[in-house]
């Protein structure tokens, strides 16, 4: 049980860090709108904000789609890199890069946990199919822990 608790805490910590990055990106977009920046840039940056998980119950989605989030964020940064020094663009791109770093860190953590849990089995064909299922299992465990904690807090507050 201790290992599952550690794993859940570790994943939750990185998802919370990602959520903080998402909020910072959103704030930077709001500040950047004061400058005369491209509406397309604002729309694309905003779509990045809303691709990230916003609540703990989005954890399952996050673990399944973290690679897609990384790809979308990299594409956004590459597309707008040339505007990087222009006021308004600079801060948004800086926070998008921070989000990208947090996404890559989360992916590394998920991959590390998967490798440690499945070990040598993950190198086999059967293990490869289990590898894609494992992040969902971990996310369900983390979600259950968070839900139970929330229920206990609600009951205690009444």
Average pLDDT value for residue range 76-85? 86
Supply the pLDDT for residue 129: 55
Supply the pLDDT for residue 118: 66
CB 89 within 8 A of CB 83: yes
91: nearest Cα among 24, 148, 17: 24
With b for 16 or more beta-carbon neighbours within 10 A and e for fewer, the 27-40 pattern comes to: ebbeebbeeebeee
Q: Cβ neighbours of residue 96 under 8 Å, at least 6 residues apart?
A: 25, 45, 48, 73, 76, 77
Task: Tally the domains of the chain.
Answer: 1
- Domain range for 65 is 2-157
Q: Is the full-model pTM beyond 0.75?
A: no
Supply the pLDDT for residue 93: 92
Residue 24 burial by Cβ neighbours in a 10 Å radius (0-12, 13-18, 19+): middle
Supply the pLDDT for residue 60: 61
Tell me 24's DSSP state.
H
Tokens of 109: 């953590």
> Does residue 2 surpass a pLDDT of 50?
no
- Alpha helices (runs of H) in the chain, residue ranges in sequence order: 2-32, 39-51, 59-80, 89-118, 125-157
């Amino acid at each position: 049980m201790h290992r599952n608790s550690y794993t859940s805490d570790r994943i939750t910590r990185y998802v919370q860090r990602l959520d903080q990055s998402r909020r910072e990106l959103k704030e930077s977009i709001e500040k950047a709108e004061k400058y005369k920046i491209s509406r397309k840039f604002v729309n694309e940056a905003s779509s990045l904000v809303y691709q990230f998980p916003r609540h703990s119950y989005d954890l399952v989605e996050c673990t399944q789609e973290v690679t897609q989030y990384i790809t979308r964020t990299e594409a956004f940064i590459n597309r707008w890199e040339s505007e990087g020094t222009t006021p308004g663009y600079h801060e948004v791109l800086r926070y998008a890069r921070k989000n990208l770093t947090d996404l890559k860190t989360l992916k590394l953590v998920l991959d590390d946990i998967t490798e440690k849990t499945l070990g040598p089995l993950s190198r086999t064909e059967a293990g490869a199919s289990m590898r894609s299922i494992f992040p969902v299992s971990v996310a369900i465990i983390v979600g259950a822990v968070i839900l139970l904690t929330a229920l206990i807090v609600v009951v205690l507050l009444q």
